[in-house]
């Protein structure tokens, strides 16, 4: 018997990183998973995996979200995972970069939630999990100006949803990972002038002297997606190996 038997889960950013690890972990625990992403090639690696239906979806495009949601009559869990990490201080963040990050990291969650929440309310039960970060209202991380601002907004959004909709049976939590070895993180490190030194620096700032793997974060996501966490709502759950401690 799986911990997520019978649950229908929709998630974004399913092609790689924590979204993909979550899709695989959810399916292994018996859920029916709709894994969405804009990266069709990577996403289609999931086709044929039992329990997972990959669907190309840009979570910044309202009309596409509306059309996608119309195909999914029942939903138990929405995991809003998609996000983009901009590197820089405020002086290195132009208006376009600011707007882009808020669009991908925050407005996408508003658009997805607006479509799926009414279905949860009609069912009298639902569960929303948002991807925040320790780099947010929890910790000021260098060169994460707009990123930190967006992830602090995700925490506020999560708490507001929880306050408004728990009386209708819908709970909402977010997770706040520290540094996780995902393709985009490795890409960011490789783009730095001295990738080898930068990797050492990233590891040096970790109290455990290592980063997390996406599958470690997926364990937490399975718990939050399951009824084992049914008394938990409005929480920002930190999973950072003690980085923000
Ligand atoms: P990643 O950054 O490697 O992959 C992100 C995925 O999101 C990609 O497959 C990409 O195609 C998809 N995506 C981007 N824009 C999209 C859009 N508009 N619509 C649909 N899909 C889109 O994976 P990751 O590092 O696991 O990041 C996932 C989330 O976790 C992000 O919100 C990120 O900010 C957050 N996060 C990451 C870390 C880390 O250290 N990696 C730490 C804390 C939080």
The Cα angle at residue 211 between residues 210 and 215, in degrees rounded to 5 = 125
Q: Which atom of ligand 1 is nearest to the CA of 84?
A: 34
Q: How far is the CA of 81 from the centre of ligand 1 (A)?
A: 6
Between the CA of 186 and the centroid of ligand 1 the distance, in Å, is 12
Q: In degrees rounded to 5, what are phi and psi of residue 189?
A: -65, -45
Answering whether pTM is above 0.95, one says: yes
**Is residue 240 lining ligand 1, measured as CB closer than 6 Å?**
no
Maximal CA-CA distance, the chain = 53
Residue closest to 71 by CA, chosen among 61, 51, 50, 57: 57
| Sequence-separated (6 or more) residues with CB below 8 Å from residue 91 | none
pLDDT computed for residue 213 by the predictor: 97
Q: State whether the beta carbon of 104 lies less than 6 angstroms from ligand 1.
A: yes
Binding site membership of 23 for ligand 1 (Cβ less than 6 Å): no
Atom of ligand 1 nearest to the CA of 15: 9
Residues acting as catalytic residues? 147
Q: Measure the CA–CA gap between 201 and 124, rounded to whole angstroms.
A: 48
| Helices of type H across 124-182 | 145-165
**Cβ–ligand 1 contact at 120 (below 6 Å):** no
- The residues of the chain scoring below 70 in pLDDT are none
Residue in the block written with tokens 């399913």 = 14
For residue 92, the model assigns a pLDDT of 98
Is 127 strand, coil or helix?
strand
pLDDT digits (tens, 9 = 90+) for 199-240: 999 899 899 999 999 999 999 999 999 999 999 999 999 999
Atom of ligand 1 nearest to the CA of 18: 26
pLDDT at position 23, please?
98
Structure tokens at 36: 């969405």
> What is the predicted pLDDT for the residue at 174?
99
Q: Is the CB of 179 under 6 A from ligand 1?
A: yes
Edge-to-edge strand list for the sheet holding 236-239: 52-56, 32-37, 8-11, 77-80, 126-131, 170-177, 236-239
Separation of 13 CA from ligand 1 center, angstroms? 6
Which distant-in-sequence residues (6+ apart) come within 8 Å of 60 by Cβ? 103, 104, 107, 108, 111
3-state secondary structure of 78: strand
């Amino acid at each position: 018997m799986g911990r997520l038997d019978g649950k229908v889960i929709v998630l974004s950013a399913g092609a790689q990183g924590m979204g993909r690890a979550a899709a695989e972990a959810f399916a292994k625990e018996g859920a029916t998973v709709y894994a969405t992403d804009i990266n069709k090639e990577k996403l289609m690696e999931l086709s044929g995996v039992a329990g997972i239906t990959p669907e190309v979806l840009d979570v910044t495009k309202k009309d596409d979200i509306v059309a996608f949601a119309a195909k999914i009559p029942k939903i138990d869990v929405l995991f809003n995972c998609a996000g983009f990490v901009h590197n820089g201080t405020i002086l290195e963040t132009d208006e376009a970069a600011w707007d882009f990050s808020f669009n991908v990291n925050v407005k996408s969650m508003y658009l997805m939630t607006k479509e799926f929440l009414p279905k949860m309310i009609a069912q009298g039960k639902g569960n929303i999990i948002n991807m925040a970060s320790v780099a947010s209202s929890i910790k000021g991380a260098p060169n994460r100006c707009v990123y930190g601002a967006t992830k602090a907004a995700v925490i506020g959004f999560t708490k507001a949803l929880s306050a408004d909709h728990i009386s209708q049976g819908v709970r909402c939590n977010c997770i706040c990972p520290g540094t996780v070895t995902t393709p985009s993180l490795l890409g960011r490190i490789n783009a730095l002038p001295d990738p080898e030194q930068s990797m050492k620096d990233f590891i040096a700032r970790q109290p455990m002297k290592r980063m997390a793997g996406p599958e470690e974060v997926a364990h937490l996501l399975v718990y939050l997606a399951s009824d084992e966490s049914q008394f938990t709502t409005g929480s920002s759950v930190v999973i950072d190996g003690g980085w923000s401690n």
